[in-house]
Amino acid sequence: MTAIDRYLSNLRSLLTKLSRNHESLEAAAQLIAKSIAKNGLIHLFGTGHSHILAEEMFYRAGGLGAVNPILEEDLMLHISASGSTEFERRADLADQILEKQSINANDVFILISNSGGNSLVEAIANRIKNQGIPIIAITSLEHANSPLARTSGIKLHELADIVLDNLGTVGDASVSFPNSEIVTGPTSSVIGTAIINALASRAVEILLINGIEPEVFSSSNTKRGDEKNIELINKLKKQIRIL
């Protein structure tokens, strides 16, 4: 098998394992549905490549409307990729970031960190937890609990109400090569995206079963897509500032 075959095989194996984590996925989807039923928002935060999952759930064709991604440029990759690594280790930024958000008692936070050990994510988790707002964590438990992890303090999964394991290996990369120390083929983004969209789909299903029509974005590239989305944006704009 080539590295392509091995990488795709790794993903298939992880997706199969993920489907067996039904209890935790169901609990997270129920929490999201309950929040939306009470007019709450689903806030998402991740640093580095983890912020991609916050974007994945936001303003997405077929995606939930009540989603607020917390996107800080210094923590993303387009300003300074190496700088984002430094910023994600600064716990002192937590208050500054959260003060910009409209957070209420019926909301839910999804915090994403493959390593689960970055100081800023931990600080945000602590502050949200102190407000009594439930936290769903998406993380790699294997990495977080490994002696090879960079940090050894409190990890994200220890602060969360529900933990969704992305099942990734230490360091995320999954494809190794004979006679080389190189490892490639990270899995956290693909599995994380599957988790995010599975949760959104199940939350919609739960709401419909309970007679609630959830707000969901349409594709702007379909007839009446723009019209439907503009109506939804106008409704949510006060709560979600970046719409």
Tell me the whole-structure pTM to 2 decimals. 0.94
Q: What is the pLDDT of residue 98?
A: 93
Instruction: Give yes or no for a contact between 140 and 166, defined as CB atoms under 8 angstroms apart.
Output: yes
Of the pLDDT bands very low, low, confident and very high (cuts 50, 70, 90), residue 32 is: very high
Q: At what angle do helices 22-37 and 188-209 cross, to 10 degrees?
A: 50
Q: Which of 60, 43, 66 is nearest to 213 (CA)?
A: 66
Tokens 């050990």 sit at which residue? Answer: 117
pLDDT for residue 94: 87
The DSSP code sequence of 8-35 is HHHHHHHHHHHHT-HHHHHHHHHHHHHH
CA-to-CA distance for 76 and 57, rounded, in angstroms? Answer: 16
> Is the CB of residue 140 less than 8 Å from the CB of residue 116?
yes
pLDDT, tens digit (0-9, with 9 covering 90-100), for 137-189: 999 999 988 877 776 578 899 999 999 999 999 999 999 999 999 999 999 99
Identity of the highest mean pLDDT range in 38-42, 97-101, 168-172: 38-42
Task: Please give the domain boundaries of the chain with CATH numbers for all domains.
Answer: 27-232 (3.40.50.10490)
Contact predicate 45/70, CB 8 Å = yes
Q: In which band, very low, low, confident or very high, does the pLDDT at 203 lie, cut at 50, 70 and 90?
A: very high
